Amino acid sequence: MGDGNGKPGRRLPPLLRQLRDPLGLAFAARSRRSETLTPRTRTADEVVRSICPYCAVGCGQRVYVKDGEVVQIEGDPDSPISRGRLCPKGAASESYVNSPLREYRVRYRAPYATDWQELSLDRAMDMIAERVIRTRAETWEEADAQGRRLARTRGFAWLGGATLDTEENYLIKKLFTALGAVQIENQARI
Amino acid sequence: MSAVPETAARQPRAWPGAYGDEARPRVGFFTDTSVCIGCKACEVACKEWNRVHDSIQGFSGSSYDNTLALGANTWRHVAFIEQRKPAALDGEAAADSLVQLAARRQLADEAGVETHEGEGIRWLMSSDVCKHCTEAACLDVCPTGALFRTEFGTVVVQEDVCNGCGYCVPACPFGVLDRREGDGRVWKCTLCYDRLRDDQEPACAKACPTDSIQFGELDELRERADARLAELHAAGQGEALLYGADPGDGVGGFGAFFLLLDEPEVYGLPPDPVAATRRIGGVWSAVGAAAAALAAGIAAAFLGGRR
Amino acid sequence: MIVIQGSNMAECHPVGFQWVMEAKLRGAKIIHVDPRFTRTSALADIHVPIRAGTDIAFLGGIVNHILQNDRWFEEYVRHYTNAAVILDEGFEDTEDLDGFFSGWEPDRGQYDNSTWSYAGTGPVAAGGHKEQGAAVSGEQAHGAHGITLERGRPPQEDETMQHPRCVLQVLKRHCSRYTPEMVERICGIPRELFLEVAEALCENSGRERTGAFCYAVGWTQHTVGVQYIRTAAIVQLLLGNMGRPGGGILALRGHANIQGSTDIPTLYNILPGYIPMPHGHSAGSLDAFVRSNAPETGAWGSMKAYLVSMLKAWFGDAATGRDEFGFGWLPRIDGDHSNYATFDRMLDGEVKGFFAVGENPAVGSANGKLHRLALSRLEWLVVRDTTMVETATFWKDSPEIETGELRPEEIATEVFFLPAAAHTEKDGSFTNTQRLLQWHRKAVEPKGDARSDLQWIYDLGRRIRRRLAASNEGRDRGILALTWDYPTQGPHGEPDAEAVLREIGGRRADGTFVARYEELADDGSTSCGSWIHAGICADGVNQAARRKPGGEQSWVAPEWGWAWPANRRILYNRASADAAGRPWSERKRFVWWDERQGRWTGHDAPDFVAEKPPGHRPQGGAKGMEALRGDEPFIVQSDGRGWLFVPTGLMDGPLPTHYEPHESPFPNPLYEQGQNPVRQRFHRRENPYNPTFPDQGWEVFPYVLTSYRLTEHHTAGGMSRSVAYLSELQPELFCEVSPELAAERGLEHGGWATIVTSRTAIEARVLVTDRIRPLRAEGRAVHQVGLPYHWGGRGLVTGDVVNDLFPLALDPNVHIQEAKAATCDIRPGRRPRGPALLALVEGYRRRAQGRGTP
């Protein structure tokens, strides 16, 4: 169909164009831009297989990447689950990942402060690690009143969303359980 | 109604002839509203693909519809129509106001009359779009050549040509053409012209979860629609009808037509759309050598001025 | 035939709904049972309006209809369920005890479930081994995974199913009061409409036909949520609709990986693959734990192998038999440590630190105010998300700042906000609603400080371990023994997600990959992070990443992604064949016994021991899968049967029975006991309850309140209020009310209304619609107020927080809040601002307590 590769169409001299389309309603009216239109799905550097991040139907997505940016996300027609279709949220996935509301910097709010301040990621990670270790030590429960072993902390808790990957959940459960934290929960209960 | 000879009505003017070998089969949409779930994936997929501007307005109160109409920033629009069709309380008219109904139900309540609540409500949803008319008045009145008939038989506004004169706006019997605030140009569904050129279906049709929006060659879509209509009629849905599938109508048939579950007016669609160009002096109504020559002359005059 | 109930599938799972539409086009009947007429109802053949919170009465009515009219699938029920099992003499039903089962302990407010057992098993066995206390999740509280049965056989059965104490007769009697008239009275559903549904379901079940139920949080978010699903299970077992194509009970889950985060849980009471967390009450040894938490027969008979393999995956070479493979390093639970209980402690200052990762409890949890106040008592809070969510900014712009209840200058909480990567910025797998793991690949690198949660947790773990490296503390042995070395890649040192998946999927001693869970051993020779995922990397291939196009394979599409366990797409699919292994019918053939090959075969991977013939009878002393017969398809149960009666595992009864929601304007016509007696409550100032019928003041909150989602938004809004194309489709919070209620309260369509509960008041635009119908229940009209809950204070569109209206009143088994049925008042106009809002709510509370005039 058409010049499938999005290459510019053959352009006739104006007089010939008018002869073919004397009313100027079609061929003769087609602009240079229109003749060279190429969908960005065609010009993408890469098409990456993905899965929709919203509900749990698990619709297949194809993520089109150009110059290191996501430029389009569409349904994956190969998926036996979704057959290439998407709902409004799935169809808006590109707007979601490129939302102007995305945050890309760490923010820190000190006790009693009325505003955020900047903090490096590395420093934030060190501070968080320090707080986990300190809180755990302060709230460690080795045994209950009857002397039964508990080996745990209830000094800190975790509530995860359900858009985290399986592998992420696995490492979270593994790390925090090994640390003795038991209040590890996620959206599934909410 | 139609003064246009059938042969002329069946095909858009200047198509496929103008394109010679480059002409493609005419394509369009068949929107089967009987399976529409009102999800609005079409609205979003369209905007995503075409990078249409968003326009966050307030709560409209119009059922679940907050974009309200097709326009420069909404090229697919899903209408929601809540209908009450009381089954109980015989003899009452069907289209009462909500308040009247509430009052009557309370009356029935007080009188101890059983009202059966199981029936009587319909929520119609329908995704509207530019009709890509066979006889497209917008295209005919465009003085700059911004609007053109593509090799696929669709009608497209070219953003690099449109100067925002707005002649096309009143010409459209459906109110589809609309100037964008700020930029002044006219924007509407292109049937994803860029995607068509690359053998890809339009974004809305691709996303549609229930295949309510079907894309394809128009002839084949019309056959599909006839079969679906027959199926619904056989299943007792006698109110189902095709809208815009008839080449004999006032715009020569739509390139994007519909299966509706009620009269077009119910969906806010004109029941009997007529191309504005038919009204203004019948310029296009008599097809003959003389008229064609005249038309060519007019077109040439425009062409001369536009490039 | 598809019954959608407790779900608004067309709106919340639109792309999944294409299959419902396809079924409809092929002649299937679609029934939607829901308080509201939604986009799902609009496409269904029949919409059944139901009073929110009464689904057990409706489904119990169907059970009664099936049993009274002999519509059950006799052969299926006799072979595949526990219908014939004779129950313990001590069991007494709610019908005998006015709304309580036997074992009620009023002082503890809990059940002793020892009489809810099979006759002849004795009270100890029936209650599991009584390892657990009462305050933990049901699964644990009453014996993890079923009762221990000698050779997998219930001791006493009556093949004729006539014995008055056999399950079928007990069930029949239990449900006998759920007549069409009672359904009408409780649910507000006209009896003819109820009968139409019940009959349609019966007609579309049996050898030649199957029917399915689809549900979602419309069933789970109740104080009797688990029992809703139990009632559906009874219906489907009686009709022979389990384990068969076109049948089943489909949980439509609402988040991309909510199934995966349950299977490999970030949940307090389970370990990967639904192995219970060890409990402080246990003797402490690995063997004692296994003895008291797993039956000897069925798939759970091998729990020790699953657990030891997991410990090997976690602790590697440090996990040896001498050290019980590190079992002692796992922490012990001894109560409810679930999310709401944790916030209850947080409010008391007992929780110092909190991580909210991809979750926004300030908007998404019931009684948001309680949550936000609790956050202000923390020492430190870490929020990770893609956008700035309300939980991260509670200290500066929460509703309590406006009312003056919180002041930033007085909040000591230290807050870290860390930007997270989106799905396109990382590798990993989502498990969809049908247990299908699908791999997604990274398309671009995350920008700035944004990182995947995988990278972040890995980094955090490394920093913690580095700091503890020199420790000799006993409590640090586990964390230091942890296997925490993954190959990294990319500019941020991202751990290889496939390496994590390989650890989950399991390895043999020689390092090759486990192919199936049956290979796992209890001697430490295999490692496997999650036994139900064993084989997901069989042959070293990431099975979740398989992408053979749907059009190029069978309709079951076994080569797209991978479903746990063992890539089985329908659980219990051995039940798709009769006792002799023949398909019930040609139309519904799915998995069957191939006599010639001597194995089970079919369209799906058989959920059964492949070579076990239908006529297999276990030897004396057989354990595990060996102990189940060839005609017992429900292989995770210790008796291989589908349980009509649940002898163990539930906190609130072995049979479902109708109770009113925690907040209800109606009595329970069945019993004096109105509500689920073991529903979980939090009695504290910050969590006040509305008076419920017939308590004094219930009329102050006369309307039924229910909450829900819209297609155009996602949950608490973090992923949709940040997107303009979605925000413009539903820009403002609105309430849906009937014309009758609008008239009664003077609400103006398009205007504003204020919705009030004892917790708070919020404002919403008014959508007057015939789609919300006043129902008649208990002989009087009841109005329902519907509220979608997607808005909060931040984002492109904002609005009040609907969840703020709901109390913490939970299902006792799973600790899920009742957000689908509560009571409220509604009044015209916007809500007051600032302290005046508190005064309004206080006025309501006083009136409800009889301390003020209306």
End-to-end CA gap in chain A: 50
Phi, psi of C488 (to 5 degrees): -115, 160
Residue entry with tokens 């944790």: C342
Spacing of C-alpha C805 from chain mean position:
22
B191 touches B203 (CB < 8 A): no
Q: What is the CATH number of the domain that holds B160?
A: 3.30.70.20
The top-scoring range by mean pLDDT among A10-19, B38-47, C115-124, C775-784 is B38-47
- Is the domain of B74 the same as that of B103? no
Using pLDDT thresholds of 50, 70 and 90, give the confidence band for residue C573: very high
Whole-number mean pLDDT of chain C? 95
Chain C residues touching B44 at Cβ < 8 A: 725-726, 729
Q: Of A51, A80, A139, which has the smallest distance from its Cβ to C550's Cβ?
A: A80
CA distance A57 to A68: 28
pLDDT tens for A160-170 read: 999 999 999 99
What is the arithmetic mean of pLDDT over A14-42? Answer: 89
**Residue ranges of domains in chain C:** 2-251, 680-848
- C625's CB contacts (< 8 A; 6+ apart) are C298, C299, C301, C302, C518, C609, C612, C635
Provide the pLDDT for residue A5. 41
Where is pLDDT greater, at A146 or B33?
B33
What is the arithmetic mean of pLDDT over A71-79? Answer: 98
Provide the pLDDT for residue B102. 52
- Is the domain of B113 the same as that of B222? no
In angstroms, the separation between the Cα of residue C673 and the nearest Cα of chain A is 27
Chain A residues touching B18 at Cβ < 8 A: 20-21, 25-28
C276 touches C313 (CB < 8 A): no
Q: CA geometry: angle at C406 spanning C405 and C408, to 5°?
A: 160
Comparing C-alpha atoms, which of C389, C191, C345, C328 is closest to residue C798? C389
Provide the pLDDT for residue C293. 87
Share of chain C above pLDDT 70, in %: 96
Neighbours of C485 (CB within 10 A): 11
pLDDT tens for B50-69 read: 999 999 999 999 999 999 99
Provide the pLDDT for residue B105. 54
What is the arithmetic mean of pLDDT over C436-459? Answer: 98
Neighbours of C203 (CB within 10 A): 13
The three-state secondary structure class of B78 is: strand
Is 60 exceeded by the pLDDT of residue C393?
Answer: yes
Comparing C-alpha atoms, which of C458, C425, C454, C421 is closest to residue C441? C425
Chain A nearest-CA residue for C382: A128
Q: Do the two domains C2-251 and C680-848 of this chain adopt the same fold?
A: no
pLDDT tens for C74-102 read: 999 999 999 999 999 999 999 999 999 99
Q: Of C729, C769, C796, which has the smallest distance from its Cβ to B82's Cβ?
A: C769
Is 80 exceeded by the pLDDT of residue A7?
Answer: no
In angstroms, the separation between the Cα of residue B89 and the nearest Cα of chain A is 40
Which residues sit opposite C166 in a β-bridge?
Answer: C86
CA distance B141 to A25: 10
Provide the pLDDT for residue B106. 56
CA distance A152 to A144: 10
- Is the domain of B92 the same as that of B229? no
Please give the helix or strand (H or E) that residue B300 lies within, else none: helix B289-306
In angstroms, the separation between the Cα of residue B281 and the nearest Cα of chain A is 18
Provide the pLDDT for residue B278. 81
Provide the pLDDT for residue C137. 40
Q: Three-state SS across A74-118? A: EECCCCCCCCCCCCHHHHCHHHHHCCCCECCCCEEECCCCCCCEE
C432 touches C440 (CB < 8 A): no
Q: Of B41, B118, B211, which has the smallest distance from its Cβ to C193's Cβ?
A: B118
Using pLDDT thresholds of 50, 70 and 90, give the confidence band for residue A13: low
- The boundaries of the domain holding residue B159 are 6-84+125-306
Residue type, C538: A
Chain B residues touching C740 at Cβ < 8 A: 102, 105-106
CATH of C2-251, one of 3.40.1010.20, 3.40.228.10, 3.40.50.10380, 3.20.10.10: 3.40.228.10
- Is the domain of B167 the same as that of B290? yes
- Is the domain of B274 the same as that of B197? yes
A29 touches B144 (CB < 8 A): no
Whole-number mean pLDDT of chain A? 92
Tokens read off for C791: 């808005």
Provide the pLDDT for residue C283. 56
- Is the domain of B73 the same as that of B187? yes
The ipTM assigned to this model is 0.96
pLDDT tens for C559-571 read: 999 999 999 999 9
Looking at the domain assignment, is residue B213 inside a domain?
yes
Q: Considering just the CA atoms, what is the radius of gyration of chain A in Å?
A: 28
Chain A nearest-CA residue for B141: A25
Q: How many helices (H) and strands (E) does chain B have?
A: 10, 8
- Is the domain of B153 the same as that of B277? yes
Tokens read off for C569: 């797409």
- Is the domain of B91 the same as that of B203? no
Using pLDDT thresholds of 50, 70 and 90, give the confidence band for residue A83: very high
Chain C nearest-CA residue for B74: C725
CB contact under 8 A, A172 and C817: no
CB contact under 8 A, C432 and A56: yes
Chain A: list its partners (3+ Cβ pairs within 8 Å).
B, C
Is 70 exceeded by the pLDDT of residue B112?
Answer: no
pLDDT tens for B248-301 read: 999 999 999 999 999 999 999 999 999 988 866 444 433 333 344 444 444 444
> What string of DSSP letters covers B133-179?
-SS-HHHHH-SSS-EEE-TTS-EEE-TTT-----THHHH-TTS---B
Using pLDDT thresholds of 50, 70 and 90, give the confidence band for residue C620: confident
Chain B residues touching C48 at Cβ < 8 A: 118
- Is the domain of B110 the same as that of B79? no
CB contact under 8 A, B200 and A26: no
Please give the helix or strand (H or E) that residue C12 lies within, else none: helix C9-12
pLDDT tens for C20-49 read: 999 999 999 999 999 999 999 999 999 999
Alpha helices in C319-449 (DSSP H): 339-347, 361-364, 368-375, 394-397, 399-403
Is 70 exceeded by the pLDDT of residue B120?
Answer: yes
Which residues sit opposite B260 in a β-bridge?
Answer: B241
Using pLDDT thresholds of 50, 70 and 90, give the confidence band for residue B94: very low
Is 90 exceeded by the pLDDT of residue C282?
Answer: no
CA distance C760 to C803: 10
CB contact under 8 A, A150 and C353: no
Is 50 exceeded by the pLDDT of residue B195?
Answer: yes
Number of domains chain B contains:
2
Using pLDDT thresholds of 50, 70 and 90, give the confidence band for residue C121: confident
The three-state secondary structure class of C719 is: coil
Chain A residues touching B168 at Cβ < 8 A: none
pLDDT tens for B208-243 read: 999 999 999 999 999 999 999 999 999 999 999 999
Q: CA geometry: angle at C18 spanning B259 and C790, to 5°?
A: 100
CA distance C306 to C517: 8
Residue from C744, C770, C800 whose CB has the most chain B CBs within 10 Å, to mutate: C770
CA distance B111 to C567: 61
Chain C residues touching B38 at Cβ < 8 A: 10, 39, 42, 711
Looking at the domain assignment, is residue B35 inside a domain?
yes
Provide the pLDDT for residue B103. 54
Using pLDDT thresholds of 50, 70 and 90, give the confidence band for residue C731: very high
Chain C nearest-CA residue for B105: C740
Go through the domains of chain A in sequence order and give each one's CATH number.
1-38 (no CATH), 41-97 (2.20.25.90), 117-189 (no CATH)
Using pLDDT thresholds of 50, 70 and 90, give the confidence band for residue A156: very high
- Is the domain of B201 the same as that of B102? no
What is the arithmetic mean of pLDDT over C198-226? Answer: 98
Q: What is the DSSP letter of C273?
A: G
Using pLDDT thresholds of 50, 70 and 90, give the confidence band for residue C153: confident
Chain C nearest-CA residue for B61: C750
Is 90 exceeded by the pLDDT of residue C660?
Answer: yes
Share of chain C above pLDDT 90, in %: 92
CA distance B17 to A27: 9
Chain A nearest-CA residue for C554: A80
CB contact under 8 A, B117 and C190: yes
Using pLDDT thresholds of 50, 70 and 90, give the confidence band for residue C594: very high
B24 touches B152 (CB < 8 A): yes
Is 80 exceeded by the pLDDT of residue C575?
Answer: yes
Chain C residues touching A93 at Cβ < 8 A: 424
- Is the domain of B168 the same as that of B36? yes
> What string of DSSP letters covers C103-145?
TEETTTTEE-GGGSSBTTSHHHHHTTTS-S-TTS-HHHHT-TT
User: What is the dihedral sign for C-alpha C328, C334, C340, C346?
Assistant: negative
Chain B nearest-CA residue for A3: B197
pLDDT tens for C324-372 read: 999 999 999 999 999 999 999 999 999 999 999 999 999 999 999 999 9
- A60 in contact with chain B, both atoms CB, cutoff 8 A: no
Residues of B with CB under 8 A from a CB of C: 35, 37-41, 43-44, 47-48, 54-59, 61, 63-64, 66-67, 82, 84, 98-99, 101-103, 105-106, 109, 116-118, 121-125, 209-211
CB contact under 8 A, B66 and C724: no
Residue type, A25: L
- Is the domain of B90 the same as that of B210? no
In angstroms, the separation between the Cα of residue C579 and the nearest Cα of chain A is 32
CB contact under 8 A, A41 and B158: no
CATH of C680-848, one of 2.40.40.20, 2.60.120.280, 3.10.450.200, 2.60.120.620: 2.40.40.20
Looking at the domain assignment, is residue B187 inside a domain?
yes
CB contact under 8 A, B197 and A6: yes
Chain B: list its partners (3+ Cβ pairs within 8 Å).
A, C
Looking at the domain assignment, is residue B1 inside a domain?
no
Please give the helix or strand (H or E) that residue A183 lies within, else none: none
Chain C nearest-CA residue for B79: C729
